[in-house]
Structure 1
Amino acid sequence: MRWRSAPVAIAGGALVLGLGAGLGIGAALDDGSDAAVTAAAAPSAVDIGFSQDMIVHHEQAVLMAQLVRGRTSDPKIAALAAGIESEQLLEIGTLRGYLALWDAPVLPAGPPMTWMADHHGHAGGMPGMATTAQLNALRTAKGAALDRMFLRLMLRHHEGGQPMLSDAATNAAIPAVRALASRISFDQAEETRTIQSLLAAKQRS
């Protein structure tokens, strides 16, 4: 199967994002489950802050996946990138849906992670985020260098997101948000093990 080019992928991602947002809102309004009903309840600062910051964090992971999945010659890395793109676009849609239900802005007003238990925030940005220079290098890398760079950046990205996921899974007021944070944390822990295995193989080759 031939992967789509980057512009088409980004356009497709925007479509999935819009659908995901609709699904997030629709689920909270229509399906009648306890988790969906509580998603529309009054959120805490943790619910809102986590949703806003995780959207930002996820959007960079989606970008990195789109930059790589159509250019790598390794089918395992292409599959990993496609999975990350698909899963995280849907999760972004759900988080956007929750914020819309709460009438909360998508972007945070201040430094990231001020909602976490330590209340210190991170004026320098969220842990694990790639720099502009690293993203530009990823855009131009080729072959094995591309694969290794992507795996290293994504490994760091996943590891950097875990504190936010752990905090929200414990401290969010709304059960649906706690459940989502727990599921994302579990899924990314599984992906981290896959990334570590692929990276070890790339470093031996």
Structure 2
Amino acid sequence: MTGTTLRRISLTATATAAGLLLAACGGGGAATSGTEHGAPTASRTAAAYGPADVTFAQQMIPHHQQAVEMAALAAGRAQDPEVKTLAAAVRAAQDPEIRTMKSWLAAWGKPESGSAMPGMNHGSGAHDGSGTSGMMSDQDMQDLDAAKGADFDKRFARLMIAHHNGAIEMARAEQKDGRNPAAKELADGVVTAQSAEVEQLTRILARL
């Protein structure tokens, strides 16, 4: 092998190594330009949501909280096994969703409570499905708290149907107007799960 050939091989190897080094440095810069250790930057987080997402979280948190309160009453008051099982499922599903939505608002720098929507005021009177959100009034909750056995089962089924229908309406608004993928996914889950529970509660109510 001639000296000229050896010099060409050496120069080629050097250029290749330099190219790999530059590519590695450039690739690392691209990977970290938008994130830091996998966490989104403030600008990317801010761009990931819109007003509808904030409203959805702010209004669905107290809505879920009331559903959990209603479901908690079933443990010591419900008589029907299916009512007890469904109430436990409501608590198991909605407690984690409350925490998730609170974490979104914290990340977005938004308060947990926004302006009240029609039907969200607990003291505004009974909501038998005519209220926008299906929220129960204070009197509704007191009456449910005082009920036991078959009376509780009927009240619970009727009130939770109205409550779920309100949540479904709110979730459909998020599906239509929301921007945040996680919020829209949660809304999809609300529509699917609570629509199925409304059907189940309707069947329960019909046989009680």
Shared fold, TM over 0.5: yes
1:47–1:174 Cα contact (<8 Å) kept: yes
Shift of 1:70: 2.7
Tell me the residue number matched to 1:66.
Answer: 72
CA shift for structure 1 position 93: 0.9
Aligned to 1:127, the other structure's residue is in SS state coil
Match of 1:44 in 2: 50
What is the 5 A alignment of 1:4-43?
41-43=47-49
User: Does residue 157 of the first structure (1) align with residue 155 of the second (2)?
Assistant: no
Question: Residue 10 of structure 1 aligns with which residue?
Answer: none
> Matches of residues 1-205 of structure 1 in structure 2 within 5 Å?
41-108=47-114, 110-112=115-117, 126-202=132-208
Q: Which has the higher contact order (CA 8 A, sep 6+)?
A: 1
Partners of 1:84 and 1:40 in 2: CA distance: 31
Letter of the structure 1 residue corresponding to residue 116 of structure 2: P
Q: What is the CA-CA distance between 1:177 and the residue it aligns to?
A: 1.0
Spell out, residue by residue over 1:58-110, the C-alpha distance to the aligned partner (whole angstroms, 9 max, x if none): 111000000112321222111100100110101111111111111111111x2
Structure 2 distance, partners of 1:39, 1:81, is 35
Contact 1:42 1:102 in 2 (8 A): no
Provide the TM-score with structure 1 as the length reference: 0.72
Distance 1:172 1:39 in 2: 15
Q: Secondary structure at the match of 1:128?
A: coil
- Indicate conservation of the 8 Å contact 2:144/2:152, yes or no: yes
SS at match of 1:49: helix
Indicate the SS of the match to 1:73.
coil
Q: What is the SS of the residue equivalent to 2:77?
A: coil
Give the CA deviation at 1:42. Answer: 4.0
The one-letter amino acid paired with 2:92 is S
CA apart distance, 1:122: 7.5
SS of the residue 2:134 aligns to: coil
**Structure-2 separation of matches of 1:56 and 1:198:** 26
